[in-house]
Amino acid sequence: MITLLKNGKIYDPAHKKDGVIEDIYIYQGRVIPKPLEPSKISQTFDLSGKVVMAGAIDMHSHIGGGKMNIARMMLPELQQKQAQETKHLTEPEAHICTPHCSHNTTHHSIPSATDTGFRYIEMGYTAAFEPAISPVNARQAHLEMGDTPMIDKGGYAMLGNDDYFLRMLAAKKDQKAINDYVAWILHATQAIGIKVVNPGGINAFKFNQRRLNLDENNSHYQVSPREILQSLSRAVHELGIAKPLHVHCNNLGAAGNFETTLNTMGASDGLPMHLTHIQFHSYGTEGDKKFSSAAAQISEALNKNKHITADVGQILFGQTVTASGDAMMQHLNAKHANPKKSVIMDIECDAGCGVMPFKYRDQNYVNALQWAIGLEIFLSAEDPWRIFLTTDHPNGAPFTSYPHLIRLLMDKAFRNETFAKLNLDAQAMSNLASLEREYSLYDIAIMTRAGASKLIGLNDRGHLGVGASADITVYTDQADREAMFSKPDYVFKNGELVVRDGVVTKVVWGATHTAKPAFDIGVEKGLKDYFDKYQTMQLDNFKMSNDEISHDGRGSIVVHDKASL
């Protein structure tokens, strides 16, 4: 009945535990205090010398929804390559890949829903969040996540390019009306956060604008990205949901975009915002090639602006696919696709998407510098609670390369050795080799567990305190951090042992995390009129019910309330 994890070295930053030797007791899926009656302990794992952390949480990973399915459909050749190198066994071990998969980026850039769950849990990740659900496509995103086993999931709904919101903003509707709409969207899409991608830009592209700067107006609505960010960050803040507005800045990937990023930090008037895959937004225009690292300026601003959090969106070398809601910038960059193809979509007066394969090459100046910029940001960010480990899966690299990335952060010699092999011009333009920092296990536990849980507002995940959901990962402490984080000894999901020695031993189904702040149902009056006049589906069918996620007996919904933190 009670499971005892004995003598593990506990890394639990939420409780300031940095490698202390302690026991953990699990009962009915939760961490409990030491029981009064030891006789009730039915199972003991001796974890002497092992590293124990909460299950890891990926706060930004494209795991479900239309654009990932487009990527799969468009790129059968990548999957065929992946399949050829995938060992085949009977279930549930049927989904075990080669020992090399974690650091070979040709793999798993577009895993099936099933593979996504297996690959995550095998690395000790117990939750992942889809950061770009277009509200009209929410049902598909949840269907795909519903077919993703092993892990918990959730998503951020995209707003800020939808005509309904832009009309409200242009009409100068009051903040309460905006807040009601934002809350209504969270309910209707079963999301836990709100994201804005290239604020106003995806919409502007539909009016044939090709770039949009922070203070430039969308030509039709005459509103600027700054106004969109102000309005949405305030709505999220006033609604009291934990997850700050998730911001994919304007000008992704463009040389010189760091200024947009710096200015964006000031756009919310001090209200919390999360700048996502900030590496892609940290480019200067110095040097012969007019492309340089602005990691120093970005990190300095990040360190100074306490209301800002960021994830990195590290790139790693190899073949992957970029899948983004940013139709405007993906269309602009489609000429760089490799292989040369792209799918761009305008979606339903709601959003857009752009999907294209991409190959990051270590001898290419820009790619090599992108790699260095990501690491420069990681190593210069002073507060590990405000920076998060991501590759913007699959855009910078597949999530399966996280163990490799962790080694780059924790092992300076390994990092410098890799750096020394890159394009020489890029090396000359980066100060990476001078950065001495090595992340500690405690820092990694903050970035991938405690910090991520706090950011999203998951309350009972990402830590090991009494009452926590017993999502727990146990590693063997190895000098090779990549080997260590590739293959945990044990992973427990809700207290059940589901992975042993990096191999799935039991298939389970995780919950879907949501936020459902209160709102005035009167908001539906305007929406109903809008849907009837301009949309092509009924308002009632736009909304997803709880039952759609839980009816099959596998899925379940957890509603998070900031007040209960």
Partner 1 sequence: MKNYTLSNEPTSATCPACGLLCDDLILNATGSESVKNGCAKSITFFEQSFQTDISASASLFGKPCDLNTAISAAADILRKSKQPLFAGLGTEVQGMRALMRLAEKSNATLDHMHSESTVRNTLTMQNSGWLTTTLAEIKNRADVILAIGTDIVSSHPRFFEKLVWNTDSLFNKPTPEIIYLSVPAENTQAGIAPNGTPPTVIPADTASIPEIVNALNALLHHKKIKAETVGGVAVSTLQAVADKLKSAQYAVVVWSAASLKFSHAELTVQSIVQLINTLNENSRAAGFPLNSGDGDTSINNTSTWLSGYPTRSRLVNSKPEYDTYHFSTKKQSKLCDALLWVSTFNPHSPPDIKTPTIVIGHPNTQLEHQPDVFIPVGIPGVDHAGLMFRVDSSITLPLKKLRDNHLPSLSDVISKIEASL
Binding site for partner 1 (CB under 8 A): 64, 66, 68-70, 72-76, 79-80, 83, 86, 88, 91, 94, 110-115, 134, 136-137, 139-140, 143-144, 147, 163, 167, 205-208, 220, 331, 334, 337, 340-350, 355-356, 533-538, 541, 548
Label residue 147 exposed, middle or buried (CB < 10 Å: 0-12, 13-18, 19+): middle
Distance (Å, rounded) from C-alpha 327 to C-alpha 540? 28
Q: Is there a cis peptide before residue 92, judged by omega within 30 degrees of 0?
A: yes
Distance (Å, rounded) from C-alpha 3 to C-alpha 276? 38
CB of 280 to partner 1, least distance (A): 21
Distance of CA 503 to the CA centre of its chain: 24
Quick count: other Cβ atoms within 10 Å of Cβ 402? 29
CB of 160 to partner 1, least distance (A): 17
Nearer to partner 1, 7 or 209 (CB): 209
Backbone angles phi, psi at 515, to 5 degrees: -125, 135
CB of 73 to partner 1, least distance (A): 5
CB of 480 to partner 1, least distance (A): 30
Distance (Å, rounded) from C-alpha 398 to C-alpha 221? 37
Backbone angles phi, psi at 514, to 5 degrees: -140, 165
| 186: helix, strand or coil | helix
Biggest CA-to-CA distance, the chain: 72
Q: Where are the alpha helices (DSSP H) in 431-565?
A: 441-445, 451-456, 481-486, 523-534, 539-542, 546-550
CB of 351 to partner 1, least distance (A): 9
> Pseudo-torsion of CA 427, 431, 435, 441, nearest 10°?
-60
Strands 2-12 and 50-54: parallel
Please, are residues 338 and 78 in contact by the beta-carbon 8 Å criterion?
Answer: no
Nearer to partner 1, 147 or 460 (CB): 147
Please, are residues 432 and 457 in contact by the beta-carbon 8 Å criterion?
Answer: no
| One-letter amino acid for residue 527 of the chain | L
CB of 84 to partner 1, least distance (A): 10
Nearer to partner 1, 47 or 110 (CB): 110
Strands 318-324 and 351-360: antiparallel
CB of 357 to partner 1, least distance (A): 9
Nearer to partner 1, 73 or 424 (CB): 73
Nearer to partner 1, 108 or 415 (CB): 108
CB of 143 to partner 1, least distance (A): 7
Distance (Å, rounded) from C-alpha 545 to C-alpha 127? 22
CB of 159 to partner 1, least distance (A): 16
| 324: helix, strand or coil | strand
Nearer to partner 1, 334 or 557 (CB): 334
CB of 508 to partner 1, least distance (A): 17
- Radius of gyration, CA atoms only, the chain: 22
Distance (Å, rounded) from C-alpha 376 to C-alpha 295? 6
- Reading the block at residue 316, the tokens are 């790693």
Q: Where are the alpha helices (DSSP H) in 147-199?
A: 163-170, 175-189
CB of 338 to partner 1, least distance (A): 12
Nearer to partner 1, 221 or 519 (CB): 221
Backbone angles phi, psi at 355, to 5 degrees: -130, 125
Nearer to partner 1, 56 or 347 (CB): 347
Nearer to partner 1, 1 or 83 (CB): 83
The DSSP annotation for 201-262 comes to HHHHHHTT-----TTPPPTTT---HHHHHHHHHHHHHHHT-SSPEEEE-SSTT-TTTHHHHH
Nearer to partner 1, 198 or 418 (CB): 198
Nearer to partner 1, 91 or 288 (CB): 91
Nearer to partner 1, 109 or 251 (CB): 109
CB of 7 to partner 1, least distance (A): 39
